[in-house]
Each structure stands twice: as structure tokens, then as C-alpha cells.
Amino acid sequence: MRKIAIVGSGYVGLVTGTCLAELGHKVVCVDNNKSKIELLKKGQVPIYEPGLEALIRKNTRSKRLSFSTDLAGPTKASEIIFIAVNTPPKPDGSVDLYYVEAVAREIAQNMTSYKLIVDKSTVPVETAERVELTIKRNLKKNVPFDIASNPEFLREGSALDDTFHPDRIVIGVNSPKAEKMLKEIYSTIKAPVLVTDIKSAEIIKHASNSFLALKISFINAVANICEKSGANIVKVAEGMGLDKRIGKAFLNAGIGFGGSCFPKDLSGFLWISKKLGYDFKLLEVVKEINESQKHSFVKKIEDNIWILKDKTIAVLGLSFKPDTDDMRSAPSIDIIKMLVEQGAKVRAYDPVAMKRAKETMPSVYYARDAYDAVKNADCLAVVTEWDAFKRLDYKMIKKLMKSPTIIDGRNLLDPKTIKSLGFVYRAIGGWENSIF
Ligand code: NAD
């Protein structure tokens, strides 16, 4: 059992802290957002993540997990401190490391004995070096410490399972002591542990996310060829994915990726590559393809209902992917903006993300449910592939809509069933013409 402090109690910090407590460690999750910590102390969870609330309650009750707005006390009391704060993008694509630096400074000012400081936030290569320097500069007395990089690969929506059953654990260290401590805290998790130098660990995270983003843009580019030639992207992706060297994951064509990680990490990797003297052009194209998918989706709506001004569009799904309420860089934001700019009225529904969506898009009409969203709509746009949308009563939806047109941005619905109900149905990459 180790005493651990997690600084930053967002999607990553909260899940990591809770899971480490469940593994038997004594964990304090720190955040400088007072209302977040107040909620957590009351047993309420500020984010939507399946299973998290129950696990937080269990570990809080057993006193392995606690919450604090104060970093000084937990710094003194813990042996291992994880930095899990946000690393948002700056307008030029670089990564804003202001929060990482602030935490490093505060840790240094409160260190009274050896600490292992682990960077869990996604950061550009060479950040750990900077953190180390920052700590050295701000130490009040000469206390030994180690720096490590332990990038996080969890996915929102399946974050607990991803933490307990990861594909790999990456540990970037420059001392045997740090390696031993990190291996030990994860020792009950059955997963390959890759030990590297710190810079390689930092690059593994950026390169992995950029590669996944590349896979998505690649299949979206192929989807455009399918559309133009009359082929079916779902079958093409299946045929490609059966090749073990390619694999079927991340080959779902659609309106492109969003979220708090892929767009930001892609830009961050591009930026650091340029800074280091390498022009990573491939990643520029990945971004371009991703942007164009949203535009061609809106164009598809337009092609089908013609003039957007004064038309009502029902948007199903707002979060950047299903099973999360995260709206950061969700494609729905750009799509709704384009629709509204052209004078369309939007009636939106999402099973869990509407509260957060209201903060970003206050003027949209937020429907009570999917049926309310489609009332008098000229078109239904499927934007996020929530499983529940597959099971809606589409006979009822047809009755409620002004004109039965569905544009499916995620190839979620079954073309034959939907078309047999009398809908005009368009999807991505020729999926609507599926005959098998
Ligand atoms: P988040 O915005 O949900 O959480 C970050 C938290 O840090 C916030 O609650 C914020 O209040 C807190 N914070 C900021 N400055 C602080 C300070 N000085 N002291 C204490 N708390 C402070 O972010 P997130 O989604 O959890 O992401 C955190 C990091 O993990 C990012 O670098 C991200 O790229 C990376 N990551 C995220 C995911 C994901 O799915 N969300 C997955 C893997 C990696």
C-alpha cells in the first residue's frame, strides 16, 4: 500500500485515483475547483462515467479515498504524486502547460521528504525535463525526488475497465527507485508493463493518439471514394480490418473524431515536431480530412432538404462519443454552428450531455427525449452513435417528423429497416446502399 496524491480530479485524475484506491492504496484526489471537491465529498460525481460513482462511494467509505482542495497537506503526506491536470490546446496548436507548471511549483514548495512525481497528463516530449527544473528551482530545502512519465490511455465511457484491464502500462523513468515504486502500485493489474526512458514515454502517448486519429481520417477518406464509386465503406472496412496487421478498431467511417484528446494531441504532436525541426505533414492532412467530414455531413443534409433557412433539424447525440457527457471539441458543436449560421432551427437531444452542451450552445432547443427532438423536423441528423438510438420507435419518429429524412453521420442505423419504413436515408461511405 502506498500513499498517493492525485492532482487534478477530472476524467483522468478521478478515475485513476479511485482505481488506485480500489487496488488498496491510500489516495487523496486534489483539485483547485472548490465546487468539484464539495460535490465529491458529498458522494456526488461531477462527470458521467459508468460505474465510477459506486466505486468512489465504496472507497470513500473504506477511507482509502478522500478529496481535498489543498495540495500542501497531501504533498507532505504522500510518497507518490500524480499530475493529472488539464493540458488544453493553445490557438497555435501548442499545448498549454500552465497548469502543469503551477502544480509542479506548488509541490516543490511543500516537499519535506522524498517524492516521486509522476506526470499522467498528456504532454509534449521534454515536459518532464521542465517539470524537474521547475521543482529544483522552487524547492524550499534540498529534498530528493524523482520524475516519471506514466501516460494515460483510458477512454471515457469505459474508463474503469480500461484502467483495470489496460492493453499496456507505460512507465518512463530515469531511476530504479521510481521504476520499482511505479511497478509496485500497478502490480495487481495484469498487463504488459513497458519501462522506457521518460522522453519515449511522453512520445508514446502523442504518437498513439495521432496514429488512431490517422486511422479514422484514413477510413473517412476511403469512405469518400466509396461514396463516389458506389461501394460500401462498412464492407470495405470489414475486409481491411480482418487483416491482423491492420485490425478492425478505429475503422468506423463517420463525421470525424472530436473530444478532448485526439484534436488536441494531434495538434500538440504536430507543434512539438515542428519545434524540434521536423515538419510532420502527414498529421496536417489527418486534421484537414477530419474537418472536411463535418462540412460534407452538413452538405449532405443540404443536398437532401435543399434550403436550410427556416428548416428544423433534429440532432440526435451531442457528446463527442457515446457513454460520456464530454462535449470538449465534440463534432456536434461545429455541425450545429454551421446549421444555425445557415438559418436552420436545431432541436437537439443527448442521453447525458445536454447539461454540458447548454454551457457551450445556450441558444439550441434541448428536447426532453428523441421523440420530442424530431417533432416537425425536416431532417433527423444522427451525430453521436448512442446505442439507445438504434432502439427508438422509428415508425413513431416518421409520424412526428414533417418530412421523413434521416442523415446518419455514424452509420448507426440499419438501412434496410429504415428505408422499408419510408424514410429517405443517407449515411456515410455508401452504407445506405447496403444490400447484405
Ligand atoms: P479535466 O479538465 O477533466 O481535469 C483536469 C482537472 O485538473 C480539473 O478538474 C481542474 O480543475 C484541475 N486542475 C487544474 N489546475 C489545477 C491545480 N493547479 N491544482 C489542482 N487541480 C487543478 O481533464 P482530463 O480529461 O482529466 O485530462 C487530464 C489530462 O489527461 C490531460 O492532459 C488529458 O490530455 C489527459 N488524458 C485525458 C483522457 C480523457 O479521456 N479525458 C485520456 C487520457 C489522457
Per-residue confidence (pLDDT) for residue 307, from 0 to 100? 97
Average pLDDT over residues 370-381: 98
Q: Which residue, judged by its Cα, is nearest atom 38 of ligand 1? A: 12
Q: How far is the CA of 102 from the centre of ligand 1 (A)?
A: 13
Q: Where are the beta strands (DSSP E) in 251-363?
A: 312-316, 345-349
Task: Find out whether the beta carbon of 69 lies less than 6 Å from any atom of ligand 1.
Answer: no
Q: Transcribe 155-224 into DSSP letters.
A: -TTSHHHHHHS-S-EEEEESSHHHHHHHHHHTTTS-S-EEEE-HHHHHHHHHHHHHHHHHHHHHHHHHHH
Per-residue confidence (pLDDT) for residue 338, from 0 to 100? 97
Q: Which atom of ligand 1 is nearest to the CA of 85?
A: 7
pTM: 0.94
Task: Find out whether the beta carbon of 31 lies less than 6 Å from any atom of ligand 1.
Answer: yes
Active-site annotation holder among 29, 226, 261, 379 = 261
Average pLDDT over residues 174-193: 97
Q: Do 155 and 12 contact (CB within 8 A), yes or no?
A: no
Task: Find out whether the beta carbon of 103 lies less than 6 Å from any atom of ligand 1.
Answer: yes
Residue 96 has pLDDT above 90, yes or no: yes
Task: Find out whether the beta carbon of 32 lies less than 6 Å from any atom of ligand 1.
Answer: yes
Is 261 designated active site? Answer: yes
Q: Which atom of ligand 1 is nearest to the CA of 151?
A: 44
Per-residue confidence (pLDDT) for residue 357, from 0 to 100? 96
Q: Which atom of ligand 1 is nearest to the CA of 106?
A: 18
Average pLDDT over residues 416-428: 97
Q: Where are the beta strands (DSSP E) in 333-423?
A: 345-349, 365-366, 379-382, 405-408
Per-residue confidence (pLDDT) for residue 304, from 0 to 100? 96
Residue 435 has pLDDT above 80, yes or no: no
Q: How far is the CA of 14 from the centre of ligand 1 (A)?
A: 9
**Secondary structure letter of residue 391 according to DSSP:** G
Q: In order of start, what are the domains of the chain with their CATH numbers?
A: 3-196 (3.40.50.720), 211-433 (3.40.50.720)
> pLDDT band at residue 120, thresholds of 50, 70 and 90?
very high
What pLDDT digit, counting tens, does each position of 308-362 carry?
A: 999 999 999 999 999 989 999 999 999 999 999 999 999 999 999 999 999 999 9
Per-residue confidence (pLDDT) for residue 146, from 0 to 100? 98
Residue 141 has pLDDT above 90, yes or no: no
Task: Find out whether the beta carbon of 156 lies less than 6 Å from any atom of ligand 1.
Answer: yes
Task: Find out whether the beta carbon of 157 lies less than 6 Å from any atom of ligand 1.
Answer: no
Average pLDDT over residues 389-393: 98
Q: Which atom of ligand 1 is nearest to the CA of 69?
A: 20
Average pLDDT over residues 231-254: 97
The Cβ of residue 45 has, within 10 Å, a number of other Cβ atoms equal to 18
Select from 141, 104, 138 the least CA-distant residue to 121. 104
